[in-house]
Structure 1
Amino acid sequence: MPAPHDPMAEIKASFFHECEELLDVLQDGLMAMQNGEEDSETINVIFRAVHSIKGGAGAFGLDGLVRFSHRFETVLDALRAGTLAPSADVLRTLLSATDHLADIVELSRDDAPLPETDTLAICDAIDQLIGDPAPKTTHQSDIDFEPEKITLNLDPSDPPKDQAHVPDTTSKIRHFRITFQPFAELFETGNEPAVLLRHLHALGHASTSCDLSDLPPFEKLVPDIPHLRWDITLETQADLAEVQSVFEFVEGLCHLNIELESVSSADPTPAHQSEPPQYRNDTAAPSRPTTGRQVKPGRPTPPVQKPVVRVELDRVERLVNLVGELVINQAMLSQSLDQSGLSPHSDAMHGVEEFQRLTRDIQDSVMMIRAQPVKALFQRMSRIVREASGALGKDVRLRMLGECCEVDKTVIERLADPLTHLIRNAIDHGLEDPATRCAAGKPAQGTITLSAAHRSGRVHIEVGDDGAGIDRPRVRQRAIEKQVIAADAVLSDSDIDALLFLPGFSTAPAVSDLSGRGVGMDVVRTEIQALGGRVSIQSAPGRGTTFSISLPLTLAVLDGMVISVADETLVLPISLVIETLTLTAPDVSLLRPGCHVVRARDGFFPLIDLGHHLGYRPLIETFEGGIVLLVALADGTSAALLIDDIVDQRQVVIKGLDDRFFRAPGIAAATILGDGHIALILDPSDFVSGAFDTPRVPHTAPAPQGEPA
């Protein structure tokens, strides 16, 4: 029998999805504060994120998450009140607390035990910031209890500083009467009536009285049942929505009644003409009102949040596969009609063209569903930077660019490990220690730049540092010691840089927690190649190193040129092709035996016979009358690929080759053509990299059009 449907499990799963979004907001806010945005709105945003996590955790009985969120919220409240300055040490502690909060959320989701030792260490660091450690637990028998009246200080001359509210510029004074009575659930979620009343008082002049009529005698008092009610009279320039926003986190957790009694101004306006007369909330949680919070001058207005529907990834993947099959069937139909001899102007051919256009539109829309911004991935790297720099005693700042660049979800998931290794490598090997940097005239704080951008139908990700650059003599010496190269080998700078990607190769003098085993860079190259991408290195001594990764935007479809080589049908990504030529005798020159070049575009391109490189036929002796495709890659290298014929140009569905197939050089994937035959998708980067002294495209040639998918 199928398992019974558990609606509570779905709600809980939705809460943890929301926690991920709130953690992103928290991370963004703290990073913005590190960059100097210390305005009250930024602080309020990060406070609300932690408060929302705490409130949701309390509803599901996640006590450990509630306790830590409450301690975290306390120090953020001190920031809002202005009693704690957002110094570099404070922000460093808050970022560490954010990392730990993310760990607790993940462990709570998996019902795993929480790391109490680490939690206590972070809590101690938080308590030291505010100078108000958590009270020690005392046994009840040691307390001398005597009822005592307490007064909530709501002196208008000393309003709290933790409100970002700025009254409107109108002269209207609104008089509200508010009744507030908390339920037990309000306290279970970590909320406190005193905090709510202080926030309410910050809106104007408030007169508050506590109704004790329901309070039972002490011997009959049940601590878990609230008995107090507050009656507040508020005079403020804030509107009803702003007053409601004070209670936005406790909706449904209290009895709340807000009545607008009157409005006084120089130009009196009846209350019923300006806004609703009252707001009442007993048990049901109404929709959250829009607040009247003013935005700090100069800050852009936040974009309106669009409705989001969460869908299981399996459903999206099934939709992508169905669209792929639709593309294949559309190609089969088009080819069948072409072979039938119908007129290109017939209704059937027009219908096929419309079908092809709709198929492409559907495919683009489905790909957009799978596309996600790299922001979440980049934010994970900020934690790697903090942990690695702390372990090595280096001051490192992460600079992120292009976080909104969207990439296929599959690509993003498989980029985590390569980026982790690249960033650790940059901190360990690239950046110098603070003393060395100062001696070299650099700032003590090193900078790692992580950027993403779309170029020529591909995504380019770069990890750069402003360190000392690659010590190529040392890399060469290590390669000789490991017998990777001969002592008299002649290597270019790019050849030496490529040694870093060899399995087991490392320049670290000893094995540590971060490096020394020669695994990291090998993982980078393997993972990037598995995604159909390329990684390259640019390094200048004393100025730093940049690792550039070029990847396809999606692993599902591409626009390809169908070509014929030695009676075999192949597909080449059309974004690589800059020109097609038919060779004449003067176009080809012999550089040396077995190596020919093609003169074109005021430059020279190495001539590569695809049929020979793929093992389909022996090297041909004459190239006159042959068809070549001039291709240019993203790193500037180029070549002329000799083929037999150009068959068609079409959109093809990428079918990956699993581990059971040997990855032959030059082959990226496969596809199914319209006639049902399987064709290999080429990766000419392997051919070009194997060409001796490969010329580059001259400056008069157009910019490279990307790399194969």
Structure 2
Amino acid sequence: MATVKQTFFQECEEQLAELEAGLLAIERGEAEPDTVNAVFRAVHSIKGGAGAFSLDDLVRFAHVFETTLDHLRTGTLAPSADVLMVMLRAADLLADLVAAARDGIAVDGERSDVLVNELNALNPEGAEIADDAEDDMSDFEFTPIAVSFDFLEDADAGPAQRVFVISFKPRAELYAKGNETALVLRELERLGQVEVSCDTSELPLLGELDPDGAHLAWTIRLTTDKDKDAVREVFEFVEWDCALEIEAEDAAASDDDVLALIRAIQADDEAAAFAAPEAVAPPSPADAEIQADTAAASPKAGAQRGEAAASAGAAPQTIRADLERVDRLIDLVGELVINQAMLSQRVQEAGHVPGSAVAIGLDELEHLTREIQECVMAIRAQAVKSVFQRMPRLVREVAGMTGKQVRLITDGEGTEVDKTVIDRLTDPLTHMIRNAIDHGLEKPEVRVANGKPAEGVVRLSAMHRSGRIVIEVADDGAGINRARVKAIAAEKGLIAADAALSDEEIDNLIFLPGFSTASEVSNISGRGVGMDVVKRSIQGLGGRLSITSRPGKGSTFTMSLPLTLAVLDGMVVTVAEQTLVVPLTAIIETLQPKAADVHGLGGSARVIAIRDAFTPLIDIGRELGFRGQPTDPMAAVAILVETEGGRRSALLVDTILGQRQIVIKSLESNYRHVPGIAAATILGDGRVALILDVDAVIANSQLDATNLEPVLAAAG
């Protein structure tokens, strides 16, 4: 029973997401019949499943909500802004009721009553009709799908016994391959009690008998505590050489049977509910009762219709897998990558030439390992849509609390990233969107006075860039008031009052712990806890957070995150006898510096001329503290890299050992955060190597691409 209920709540999450997406589409003016029907179907399915588990509060509210949506579906209720606002709030409450039913907690009854009254007020026939329908629904709507599961909870009953009727007719090929019917029947007997009858109706006379033919058939009645898959497994080696049918007599209902029953009832009920409104009149209560009874009496017919619909729509087939199993598989693939690297190291040390059989086999193993790794990572990859879909509700709540008009625009919802990253994105995004509405957007009257629309816009977007995922939260508000930010930071003692800061440095003050521009503490902000937590969360994922702002135009927060926290391609280098890994996605090219191309600039700073452009030259050994004196560029190798922001720099390393696929190990969780280092890995020889954080190294260097041009201009 617990498994069935858990599956119901998982499906509720999908239906709630479809409900909110559909309502937002209607709000944008996309009130297509398919969209409206999808919204109605989501609430209808939640109500049907909730009735099977006697979740009365959820059922009652879903019924009233469904009644209002039905008027929208039939065209008797116009999708005005006020109507959709009530429906969006109703969708929020429905999500809370589902969560309350799942977690066993109570929901504010007064809030539910208020929304029920508002929904009833929207019904063209009036609230009284809707209330009558609510009172009567328990008499005809859900009775057919109320199922008793007491037999599943009887601890003393032992394993549930099921009866299978098996029709087994071998073909000649079965015997030609050396198989024997008696052995199959003997294996069935191991599963439980069997009653076997042999059909000899096709047995010819002795003179006409084909010694190589198959003339007998068997009907077996098996009573067992095993499931259908276990029964079919007996026929695993002969299934293609016989006519086989396995039918279950429901002596005891399994979890799958119960779930199929619920879905079949919903499918039959929906088949009538989703007929075109102009062609088919809504069914009367008596008709609805007949339809529900029919569905309960023939779940198999409903299931067949569901399969036909699925094949017609060519929907992809999916399975639900326990996340722990997937994580375990990821770990094993990581160990496989490490062992493959170790094997490659041993082969090189043994002196095998590249064309030898061992080397060729090792190359094939490497390709296979990479393909396995990519397939496994694809299993964990999820679209950010699951996180983005939670934000419209947050925007409505914060906009209501602040008295602002806000429109949320999302882009790139299909962008995929590792599920670990997905799970830890919700809190940072919540903080940033609340901040954008509360601090970024102006009040409607202020916006109008400044020549802007009264409605502010918050844009949430995701994209792939340079092997990473970039998520942006942008608003069209007033931008950062840098004078006020600097004054508050000085007042709180975060900076010196006479500190000379650039615009970028002032903008980054908002990430300091304890900083807040709110004049008073509220439920939204003002306690100085928020953006610093966001930055730490992003850094904990191996990512970076930056901000750009234009006064009067708005601000944009940019998060750059790794696509996966498991495996990446990197270039292994040595610096001052230390082994480092530079992520391959950041590398543009490698080159050997020439004396004519390297120029000193302002003390120890140096630049290198690459194709008529000057690029900062960064000594990695000195930046990370591996050595005190700068290295000779002509005795080193320069790696040209590019950050997410498009800035280019040349990193000086001693030697390049080669390109490897490496398994990422968190350095912060196992040791502590190290500036300039993103993570660690284990090399093929068992040594630990540090993975370079290219963006952090460039940002911390004495000379980067942002200040290079003015320096060169001043130098003439």
Q: Same fold (TM over 0.5)?
A: yes
1:372-391 equivalence runs, <5 A:
372-391=382-401
C-alpha separation between the residues in 2 aligned to 1:186 and 1:109?
Answer: 20
Partner of 2:458: 448
Partner of 2:68: 75
Matched, 1:289 2:283: no
Shift of 1:435: 0.7
Select 2:127's aligned residue among 116, 128, 133: 133
Matched, 1:438 2:477: no
Select 1:585's aligned residue among 578, 595, 598: 595
Partner of 1:399: 409
Change in CA separation of 1:187 and 1:111 when aligned onto 2, cut-off 3 Å: closer
Change in CA separation of 1:523 and 1:81 when aligned onto 2, cut-off 3 Å: same
Secondary structure at 2:473 match in 1: strand
Shift of 1:484: 2.3
Change in CA separation of 1:184 and 1:84 when aligned onto 2, cut-off 3 Å: same
Matched, 1:507 2:517: yes
Contact (CA 8 Å) 2:620, 2:652: kept in 1 or not? yes
Secondary structure at 1:428 match in 2: helix
Secondary structure at 2:515 match in 1: coil
Shift of 1:684: 2.4
The aligned amino acid for 2:380 is R
Deviations 1:33-71 (A, max 9, x none): 011111222111100110000000001111111111111
Secondary structure at 1:624 match in 2: helix
Shift of 1:490: 2.1
1:557-706 equivalence runs, <5 A:
557-620=567-630, 622-659=632-669, 661-696=671-706
Partner of 1:479: 489
Shift of 1:495: 0.9
The aligned amino acid for 1:331 is A
C-alpha separation between the residues in 1 aligned to 2:594 and 2:690?
Answer: 29
Change in CA separation of 1:136 and 1:100 when aligned onto 2, cut-off 3 Å: closer
Change in CA separation of 1:43 and 1:229 when aligned onto 2, cut-off 3 Å: closer
Deviations 1:378-409 (A, max 9, x none): 01111110110010011111101111111110
Contact (CA 8 Å) 1:584, 1:625: kept in 2 or not? no
Change in CA separation of 1:591 and 1:196 when aligned onto 2, cut-off 3 Å: closer
Contact (CA 8 Å) 2:51, 2:142: kept in 1 or not? no
Contact (CA 8 Å) 1:402, 1:451: kept in 2 or not? yes
Shift of 1:24: 1.2
C-alpha separation between the residues in 2 aligned to 1:393 and 1:655?
Answer: 46
C-alpha separation between the residues in 2 aligned to 1:106 and 1:56?
Answer: 14
Select 2:426's aligned residue among 408, 416, 420: 416
Change in CA separation of 1:390 and 1:593 when aligned onto 2, cut-off 3 Å: same
Matched, 1:64 2:57: yes
Contact (CA 8 Å) 1:457, 1:575: kept in 2 or not? yes
C-alpha separation between the residues in 1 aligned to 2:306 and 2:376?
Answer: 33
1:326-405 equivalence runs, <5 A:
326-405=336-415
Contact (CA 8 Å) 1:636, 1:697: kept in 2 or not? no
Partner of 1:429: 439
Partner of 1:309: 319
Contact (CA 8 Å) 2:64, 2:130: kept in 1 or not? no
Change in CA separation of 1:490 and 1:552 when aligned onto 2, cut-off 3 Å: same
C-alpha separation between the residues in 2 aligned to 1:250 and 1:334?
Answer: 70
Change in CA separation of 1:496 and 1:601 when aligned onto 2, cut-off 3 Å: farther
Matched, 1:35 2:35: no
RMSD between aligned residues: 3.2
Change in CA separation of 1:134 and 1:683 when aligned onto 2, cut-off 3 Å: farther
C-alpha separation between the residues in 1 aligned to 2:422 and 2:299?
Answer: 43
Change in CA separation of 1:434 and 1:201 when aligned onto 2, cut-off 3 Å: closer
1:28-427 equivalence runs, <5 A:
28-130=21-123, 132-133=126-127, 184-185=143-144, 253-255=292-294, 282=298, 284=300, 286-287=302-303, 289=305, 304-427=314-437
Unpaired runs of 5+ in structure 1? Answer: 1-7, 139-180, 211-227, 231-246, 257-279, 294-300, 700-709
Contact (CA 8 Å) 1:637, 1:697: kept in 2 or not? no
C-alpha separation between the residues in 2 aligned to 1:549 and 1:379?
Answer: 18
Shift of 1:197: 7.9
Secondary structure at 1:592 match in 2: coil
Change in CA separation of 1:469 and 1:93 when aligned onto 2, cut-off 3 Å: same
Contact (CA 8 Å) 1:571, 1:682: kept in 2 or not? yes
Higher normalized helix content (fraction of residues) = 2
Matched, 1:546 2:521: no
Matched, 1:528 2:520: no
Change in CA separation of 1:81 and 1:650 when aligned onto 2, cut-off 3 Å: same
C-alpha separation between the residues in 2 aligned to 1:84 and 1:137?
Answer: 18
Shift of 1:182: 8.8
C-alpha separation between the residues in 2 aligned to 1:618 and 1:325?
Answer: 37
Contact (CA 8 Å) 2:41, 2:270: kept in 1 or not? no
TM-score, normalised by the number of residues in structure 1: 0.77
Deviations 1:606-626 (A, max 9, x none): 222222222222123643322
Contact (CA 8 Å) 1:603, 1:697: kept in 2 or not? no
The aligned amino acid for 1:27 is E
Contact (CA 8 Å) 2:648, 2:705: kept in 1 or not? yes
C-alpha separation between the residues in 2 aligned to 1:206 and 1:661?
Answer: 68
C-alpha separation between the residues in 1 aligned to 2:276 and 2:420?
Answer: 50
Shift of 1:90: 1.1
Contact (CA 8 Å) 1:580, 1:629: kept in 2 or not? yes
C-alpha separation between the residues in 2 aligned to 1:662 and 1:290?
Answer: 54
Contact (CA 8 Å) 1:497, 1:537: kept in 2 or not? yes
The aligned amino acid for 1:557 is V
Change in CA separation of 1:374 and 1:288 when aligned onto 2, cut-off 3 Å: farther
TM-score, normalised by the number of residues in structure 2: 0.76
Secondary structure at 2:409 match in 1: strand
C-alpha separation between the residues in 2 aligned to 1:136 and 1:206?
Answer: 18
C-alpha separation between the residues in 2 aligned to 1:698 and 1:613?
Answer: 18
Unpaired runs of 5+ in structure 2? Answer: 133-139, 148-261, 710-716
Secondary structure at 1:289 match in 2: helix
Deviations 1:681-701 (A, max 9, x none): 1112222112235225999xx
Change in CA separation of 1:532 and 1:201 when aligned onto 2, cut-off 3 Å: closer
The aligned amino acid for 1:544 is G
Change in CA separation of 1:693 and 1:476 when aligned onto 2, cut-off 3 Å: farther
The aligned amino acid for 1:54 is K
C-alpha separation between the residues in 2 aligned to 1:448 and 1:32?
Answer: 17
Change in CA separation of 1:343 and 1:111 when aligned onto 2, cut-off 3 Å: same
Shift of 1:283: 5.6
* Higher mean C-alpha displacement, 465-474 vs 421-430: 465-474
Shift of 1:183: 8.7
Shift of 1:638: 2.9
C-alpha separation between the residues in 2 aligned to 1:403 and 1:624?
Answer: 47
